[in-house]
Amino acid sequence: MSDSAGGTANVHVLILAAGAGRRFGSDKRQAVLPTGRTLLQQVCHVVAASGLPYSVVSRRHDTVSTQFPLVISVDNAAGGMGSTIAEAVSQLGAGIDGVMLLPVDLPLLRSHTVAQLAGRVRRDHIIRPRCGGSVGHPVAFGADFLSGLEALSGEEGAQSLLVRYHDAVQIHEVDDPGIYHDIDTPAALNALTLSQFPEAHR
């Protein structure tokens, strides 16, 4: 276990992909990007390139996410994001130094950013990226906050912990607009071009 003076690579990334996609109008995880990958495949590709361990968080018996070898299945996704996060984190087991929460709708994210954030994890810090004045995801929670994540419920997402433990939040400046360029609507998907993707992830 790391202490507050040193970083760690023992950070598990949770790709949050258990939502119903109501705002998008269909299963956006299967939407095909200009890279030729689906949205979920793209985000998994980026995280895999960072070298960090990761899992796709999905609803149990979800046929899309079961195409991936690293899956955490949850039963309470219908209860809200808080319930989803709590159930997923509780399945990670002991021995990790932190967890990184990554929504599935950030396909322009760079693997270098994910690795950078993991390198800054301390057990008593919450690390949040910022680019050009805008904060985004993924957000990394040190080991001291895992119990807080497990206690979330309903629609109360991890944002509540950022407010409650604001003194522990560390902002990390990155050169990566992919941290906030989310794909929530078909129009946002259709506006994507291949040139927007980092060359390493095309």
Q: Judge whether 196 lies within some domain.
A: no
Residue 4: the pLDDT is 39
Q: How confident is the model at residue 150 (pLDDT cuts 50, 70, 90)?
A: very high
CATH no. for residue 99? 3.90.550.10
Q: Is the pLDDT of residue 7 over 60?
A: no
Q: Judge whether 199 lies within some domain.
A: no
Q: Is the pLDDT of residue 74 over 70?
A: yes
pLDDT tens across 88-106, in order?
A: 999 997 789 999 999 999 9
Q: Judge whether 84 lies within some domain.
A: yes
Q: Judge whether 184 lies within some domain.
A: yes
Q: How confident is the model at residue 107 (pLDDT cuts 50, 70, 90)?
A: very high
Confidence (pTM): 0.92
Residue from 67, 66, 51, 58 nearest 16 by CA? 58
Q: What is the mean pLDDT of the chain?
A: 90
Query: Between the CA of residue 140 and those of 6, 78, 136, 199, what are the distances in Å?
Result: 15, 24, 11, 25
pLDDT tens across 166-196, in order?
A: 999 999 999 999 999 999 889 999 999 999 9
Instruction: Mark 76-86 as b/e (b = at least 16 C-beta within 10 Å).
Output: bbeebbbbbbb
Query: Between the CA of residue 101 and those of 128, 187, 196, what are the distances in Å?
Result: 10, 25, 23
Query: Between the CA of residue 104 and those of 41, 111, 120, 166, what are the distances in Å?
Result: 9, 14, 22, 25
Q: How confident is the model at residue 9 (pLDDT cuts 50, 70, 90)?
A: low
Q: Judge whether 148 lies within some domain.
A: yes
Q: Where are the beta strands (DSSP E) in the chain?
A: 11-16, 54-59, 71-74, 98-103, 126-131, 134-135, 139-142, 169-173
Q: Judge whether 64 lies within some domain.
A: yes
Residue 65: the pLDDT is 73
What's the length of the chain? 202
Domain tally for the chain? 1
The token duo for 140 is 């990394």
Q: Are 84 and 173 in contact (CB under 8 A)?
A: no
Burial label, 94 (beta-carbon count in 10 A; 0-12, 13-18, 19+) = exposed
Full domain range(s) for residue 151: 11-189
pLDDT tens across 17-70, in order?
A: 997 566 787 888 999 999 999 999 999 999 999 999 999 999 988 887 778 888
Rg (CA), the chain: 16
Q: Judge whether 87 lies within some domain.
A: yes
Q: Judge whether 145 lies within some domain.
A: yes
